[in-house]
Amino acid sequence: MVKVSVYIGSSLDGFIAREDGDIGWLDDANKNVTPGEDFGFHRFLESVDLIVMGRKTFEQVQALENWTYEDKKLIVLTSKRNLEIPEKLKRIATTSNTLNPTKLIKELSDQSIDHIYIDGGLVIQEFLSAGLVDEITVTIVPIIIGRGISFSKLLPKDLHLDHLKTTVYEFGFVQNKYKISKLKKN
């Protein structure tokens, strides 16, 4: 079975971006991070076979100066027919109009893929709602932004989590790693 992971940063009040998608608050907070600290992301990425990302997130990250996803294969989920993949990413990135997470995982299960990293608010919401996420790592940034986009918005039912690890960083960030409990809790 394919393992599906979320690895994301969040404000203390649970938002991954402002309502308009802006993540400038995260860039500002990262100025306080010890140089070279990546919160275990590189090690996590080494365990990943494929990244599945939403279009809006892709458009944001592909415009950044440094591509942080190495040479990992990437599927961008989009309903937009003519999404432009930059030349520098054409060998690793493809698009898919399959917006149904269950169908996508079934297709990918036949391709020798063991670990998928999903990214982007809507994509994470869809995978969580479908019960397809196995692990969540959330790095909480010491800021409250008041309003924004949540990665867990409007889930159809509660998801119970089993705590795996907490890391507290000297500059105020706190990272929590959980496994999604597959057993019903009373």
The tens digit of pLDDT for each residue in 3-14 reads 999 999 999 999
For residue 156, give its domain range.
3-180
105 in any annotated domain: yes
91 in any annotated domain: yes
Q: Could you report the per-residue pLDDT of 129-162, keeping only the tens digit for each?
A: 999 999 999 999 999 999 999 988 878 888 999 9
150 in any annotated domain: yes
Instruction: Report the number of distinct structural domains present in the chain.
Output: 1
59 in any annotated domain: yes
128 in any annotated domain: yes
Tokens representing 38?
């990546």
Instruction: State how far the Cα of 132 lies from the Cα of 140, in Å rounded to an integer.
Output: 23
185 in any annotated domain: no
Sign of the alpha-carbon dihedral angle for 47, 50, 56, 61: positive
Instruction: State how far the Cα of 183 lies from the Cα of 186, in Å rounded to an integer.
Output: 10
Instruction: State how far the Cα of 2 lies from the Cα of 67, in Å rounded to an integer.
Output: 25
- The neighbouring-strand residues paired with 162 are 179
186 in any annotated domain: no
Q: Could you report the per-residue pLDDT of 22-80, keeping only the tens digit for each?
A: 888 988 898 999 999 999 999 999 999 999 999 999 988 887 777 888 889 999 998 87
At 26 the three-state DSSP class reads: helix
140: domain CATH number is 3.40.430.10
Predicted pLDDT of residue 135: 97
Predicted pLDDT of residue 185: 47
99 in any annotated domain: yes
